[in-house]
Amino acid sequence: MSSKILMPALSPTMTEGVINKWLVKVGDIVKAGDIIAEIETDKATMEVEAVDEGKITHLLEKKAGSQVPVNSVIAIIDGDKNESIQNLIIEKEKPKEKNKKTEEDLNLDKNIQVNENSIHVKSDDRIKASPLVKKISKEKNIDLITINGSGPDGRIIKRDLETYDNTKAPTQDINLRHEVIQPSTMRKVIAKRTLEAKQQIPHFYLTIESNVSKLIELRKKINEKNSVKISFNDLIVKALAMAMKKNPKTNVYWQNDQIYKLNDIDVSVAVAIDEGLITPIVKKVNSKGLNEISNEIKELAKLAKTNSLKPEQYTGGSITVSNLGMFGISEFAAIISPPQASILAVGKIIQKPIVVNESIEIGHTLKSTLSADHRVLDGAVAGKLLKDFNDIMEDPFKIWIQSTDMEVI
């Protein structure tokens, strides 16, 4: 009896995947648990195992970048060799939709609008013109790209050249010459999810400026004696978890018209990789010390950059920290990553004059912007979270006290 191997759903958000590499070939004998392929998901590259024992009789042809829907057949064990695997794929694209998409893509590649008079720039290899027209255009130094043809299907005819005024030809921007880059699976998912997040989640934003002079001193003292080098991001993650513990109403998310309250405080940390952005999660941050948090963030970042994260390491989370301070960004607002209800965007530390006890001193400030989902968080609730975070950042000794794995300073 034949056995079908399906494209697995390797994470709750996965709807399709790409077969990066087959590790078996037709005719190979496999047993349950054998690794047969590498699949690129929306977040990472994962391995797919055989579920039964037998001979591989069919493999879905691997085309670069081609998307395969979840639960579609990708391989068959002990199947009928006379039957094509294409006939066994569960989810097929509707021919009409596929043709429509192809036509739209063709039109997009063909023409780019350059002004309100609907003049189009066409790619050189798709200009529709007769040999006579091309000959005349060369003799008169006329660029056919700038002409809209009046013949059938936009074909440029002799009459178009006779009415052409070379002095009124539209100025071409060399930037309109372009190449089409096929986005990766991760980039497509990022594009889809961020669009959905901005369209479906009612964002509101709160910004606070913290005096982090004491935080800088604390980090310096810690790193003088500590075996693990603590970063400002480690301190921020711990401070945010402490603030969220004081505000349990913020450890929630909205889904299917219901509010879900989380028991643990899991903080996602945005990590930039070549293909885009991924947010691995530090679990139960409120019960961990700085050393443990720092080591875990470093390890998760390493796994993220090698596409080795497991779904449970990047799925869920209470809140995300996105820090662009290392790029010189002083302030920004981030897009919430569903199903979370908030994300904290952190800028760089700036040295400037500040008022302390009614006198001006040179200090260090840091701006943090909280993006919140108004369906589940009101302004006062989100504002209290940000205020408590600010208080901890300005009096960071509390962070050290709650980190039992730290050296005495």
- The per-residue pLDDT for range 189-247, each reduced to its tens digit, is 889 999 999 999 999 999 999 999 999 999 999 999 888 999 999 999 999 999 999 99
Q: Which CATH superfamily is domain 185-401 in?
A: Chloramphenicol acetyltransferase-like domain (3.30.559.10)
pLDDT band at 342 (very low <50, low <70, confident <90, very high): very high
Please indicate whether residue 374 is annotated as part of the active site: yes
Q: Which of 48, 51, 8, 56 is nearest to 32 (CA)?
A: 51
- Two tokens, residue 2: 């034949």
The domain over range 3-88 is classified in CATH as 3.40.50.300? no
Residues 120, 203, 364, 374: which is the catalytic one? 374
CB-CB neighbours of 230 under 10 Å:
22
The separation between the first and the last C-alpha atoms of the chain, rounded to the nearest angstrom, is 68
Compute the Cα dihedral for 19, 24, 25, 31 and give only its sign. Answer: negative
pLDDT band at 371 (very low <50, low <70, confident <90, very high): very high
pTM of this structure: 0.66
> In the chain, what are the domain boundaries?
3-88, 105-176, 185-401
Architecture of domain 105-176: Irregular (4.10)
Mapped onto helix, strand or coil, the DSSP state of residue 211 is strand
What's the pLDDT at 107? Answer: 47
Rg (CA), the chain: 29
pLDDT band at 173 (very low <50, low <70, confident <90, very high): low
User: Are 347 and 309 in contact, with CB atoms under 8 Å apart?
Assistant: no
Average pLDDT score, the chain: 83
